[in-house]
Structure 1
């Protein structure tokens, strides 16, 4: 029984951050040391990002609230609101992104409507509220009153892959199931000025966005393009637990993203791919002989940062073309935590070069250091 990811849709908030302008704001903050100013310049300049999106409209040139919460445009100073103020904005804006992404996914899935949805899985690590986004989707989309709901919270950047794995398992257990999966992340709510290198790196990368899709074993409609969800695997690297972390502080959530992460991924990425390819002799042999780029046509790599993509490309001997979906996503949208890999998959599906039957290896990284992988097949 083939289980497919259908109706894959992505949305972003309307406010655009231009990377060079954001760099200059962060570099001009009072209290920054000269070393921190140099780190800001380097981190932003080599990020591989041109633009990002944010729900914080006061960061735009057009919005000038009389009582700013995050950014005082008159002084150019980034403010330091508490976690409560940040989370209240999450409740307001994440709800909109969840609903917009879910509606787009349903509209893009022929033959499936709200009444068909049997399960909802929501994903986020950038805020909390209850009743949560799973409840809001059921209520505002008019889903059946007995729809089953699950929320994967605070897992980090890799969480959309476990969400798709869970959705597939639900479909295998109930062949007529229709699972709505939605990831929404508002990372910019937690950005702040700092002399800490890890915080500076996070400020140069993270952004807001949402992705959604329908997972079901129901047959595709004529002309529909989707992904078969073939197989999933997970691996915890033996090092790196303290190099990527996400904790709740008094002034928002605090990201630890050390400069050792690219080297850890470089050292352990091949081992992390082994369980995904273990059941296919040809793929396992391709991994051993550095021929993965020939065995797998497309690669949906979570663009945690430019240096991470460089390490993955080099270690797995991938072509520059195979990294275009990940690099283009990073360039245009930044790192949207768990939602990002859905943007990369959407890019692959939109490519004229992706044809029926071609395979996709997806990979995302997060706290632990955890590597989640998936093997997919293009359909349509």
Structure 2
């Protein structure tokens, strides 16, 4: 469809109801005297008017009480690793060669090839336990990493928002692979002496899309509890989950996952409407776990030598593609303009009635969103979504640069991407943001936010010292 013709089509379809008002208004104006005569002939009494007023007031009250409470994102904070935790390519490979657990030459060569094509930069960070030779994968070191990333993000959140720990009503924390006792939520409550009637939840085993699951849970709780604050913490603890074997499908996460954490403050208080950055519009969750292939494509298991790691099956991208299709089919009617929905519906009808081989119409989500935050799970994930959703390089820039600067930080990566967009000064009032993430199980989850106010680039934060360097060119292969 030619651009000019498509714009005309979009204008007519998207504004159909408004355009329909013109002939309707003309018809009413022509029949004005007849309508007034009809009203006068009905002889309404005071009782009729009183009953009508009561019904109108009752209906409006019921509507106001039953409608969902708005959920605002007041602000969020990110963990920024110290430079001493930086792991360059050369340092990573040197540790792999020197460590007795990675001494298998084929394994070292395989990890080098993955790093060369990973899209990661030289500034990504690993926790202290993984800097030792051999790595110190103890419970104590894992706890130390968890407290470092979570408490740092929380301290920054309290500083940015001005709220006190005792003001928190709901606490949701997600960490997939590290689930100690007492729980990580308990450690947060203990650290900040949060009051005893806090509603706390600790989510584990839910993969990289768990951050949006946490947002969805917090939203549901905020619908029930009026005038409340909810804090969502998303992280992944790497110390106990580094794979020390030789299985190639399990070595890949070693090359991609890096330190990260995000703490997000949500509110349903009307007093926060003006200061909040965003308003939550939609959360759409798709779970494909009923399918055996989807269920087993990402799993934590032991190899033949008893080493535990995360195994990524070869059909991961195909499974992710199917989950994405299901998710966008669900979210499309909620966000797409009528013109795109009509084209999509006609495409489906044509495939059903005429020719199943017709190419399905992919809705233009650029008409629904100004910004895209695609989970920085790896270069292949970003490439595939850019292709399927027909996005420009600028629209996936936040995801690629987050992968380059911070690596795959699991469920917190979406917030590093959002911070990148803000740090570039691109977030304007009224802009719509689509966050989309994938997780084991297999899941594809989406969240849609609407910007409440134009956001100035922050003076401090995870990107403050390097945002001027980005975007950078990321070659297909970095020779090590």
Q: TM-score range by the shorter chain?
A: 0.7 to 0.9
1:18 aligned residue (88, 94, 108): 88
Alpha-carbon offset, residue 251 of structure 1: 7.4
Q: Counterpart of 2:231?
A: 180
Alpha-carbon offset, residue 92 of structure 1: 2.2
Q: Counterpart of 1:64?
A: none
Q: Counterpart of 2:414?
A: 341
Measure, in 2, the Cα distance between the counterparts of 1:154 and 1:12.
24
TM-score by length of 1: 0.85
- Is the aligned partner of 1:140 residue 2:195? no
Instruction: Show CA shifts across 1:190-244 (max 9, x none).
Output: 2234331122211110112110011111246697452211111111344432221
Measure, in 2, the Cα distance between the counterparts of 1:362 and 1:222.
21
- Does the residue aligned with 1:17 lie in a helix, a strand or coil? coil
Q: Counterpart of 2:465?
A: none
Alpha-carbon offset, residue 29 of structure 1: 5.7
Q: Counterpart of 1:47?
A: 118
Measure, in 2, the Cα distance between the counterparts of 1:248 and 1:36.
17
Larger RCO of the pair (alpha carbons < 8 Å, separation 6+): 1
Measure, in 1, the Cα distance between the counterparts of 2:301 and 2:448.
31
Shifted more, 37-46 versus 323-332: the winner is 37-46
- Does the aligned pair in 2 maintain the 1:48–1:306 contact within 8 Å? yes
- Is the aligned partner of 1:165 residue 2:237? no
Measure, in 2, the Cα distance between the counterparts of 1:221 and 1:118.
15
TM-score by length of 2: 0.69
- Is the aligned partner of 1:264 residue 2:264? no
- Is the aligned partner of 1:254 residue 2:309? yes
Alpha-carbon offset, residue 38 of structure 1: 3.8
- Does the aligned pair in 1 maintain the 2:243–2:309 contact within 8 Å? no
Alpha-carbon offset, residue 124 of structure 1: 0.7
1:376 aligned residue (425, 434, 449): 449
Q: Counterpart of 1:67?
A: none
Larger radius of gyration: 2
Measure, in 1, the Cα distance between the counterparts of 2:275 and 2:90.
39
1:233 aligned residue (265, 284, 288): 284
Alpha-carbon offset, residue 295 of structure 1: 2.0
Q: 1:7–1:259: structure 2 CA closer, same or farther, 3 Å change rule?
A: same
Shifted more, 254-263 versus 305-314: the winner is 254-263
Q: Counterpart of 2:31?
A: none
Q: Counterpart of 1:63?
A: none
Q: Counterpart of 2:371?
A: 298
- Does the aligned pair in 2 maintain the 1:182–1:210 contact within 8 Å? yes
- Does the residue aligned with 2:269 lie in a helix, a strand or coil? coil
**Structure number having the greater helix percentage:** 2
Alpha-carbon offset, residue 136 of structure 1: 2.2
Shifted more, 219-228 versus 5-14: the winner is 219-228
Alpha-carbon offset, residue 289 of structure 1: 4.0
Q: Counterpart of 2:255?
A: 204
Which structure 1 residue ranges, 5 or more long, are not aligned?
A: 60-70, 73-77
- Is the aligned partner of 1:244 residue 2:295? no
Alpha-carbon offset, residue 28 of structure 1: 6.1
Shifted more, 133-142 versus 325-334: the winner is 133-142
Q: 1:36–1:131: structure 2 CA closer, same or farther, 3 Å change rule?
A: closer
| Cα RMSD after superposing both structures | 2.6
Alpha-carbon offset, residue 35 of structure 1: 4.5
Q: Counterpart of 2:400?
A: 327
Q: 1:207–1:218: structure 2 CA closer, same or farther, 3 Å change rule?
A: same
Q: Counterpart of 2:61?
A: none
Measure, in 2, the Cα distance between the counterparts of 1:184 and 1:324.
22
Alpha-carbon offset, residue 306 of structure 1: 0.5
Q: 1:277–1:222: structure 2 CA closer, same or farther, 3 Å change rule?
A: closer
- Does the aligned pair in 2 maintain the 1:187–1:336 contact within 8 Å? no
2:427 aligned residue (335, 354, 376): 354
Alignment coverage as a number of residue pairs: 359
Measure, in 1, the Cα distance between the counterparts of 2:281 and 2:269.
15
- Does the residue aligned with 2:87 lie in a helix, a strand or coil? strand
Shifted more, 31-40 versus 188-197: the winner is 31-40
Measure, in 1, the Cα distance between the counterparts of 2:141 and 2:301.
18
Alpha-carbon offset, residue 359 of structure 1: 0.8
Instruction: Show CA shifts across 1:59-107 (max 9, x none).
Output: 1xxxxxxxxxxx32xxxxx45x6xxx53331222202322221121122
2:128 aligned residue (56, 60, 78): 56
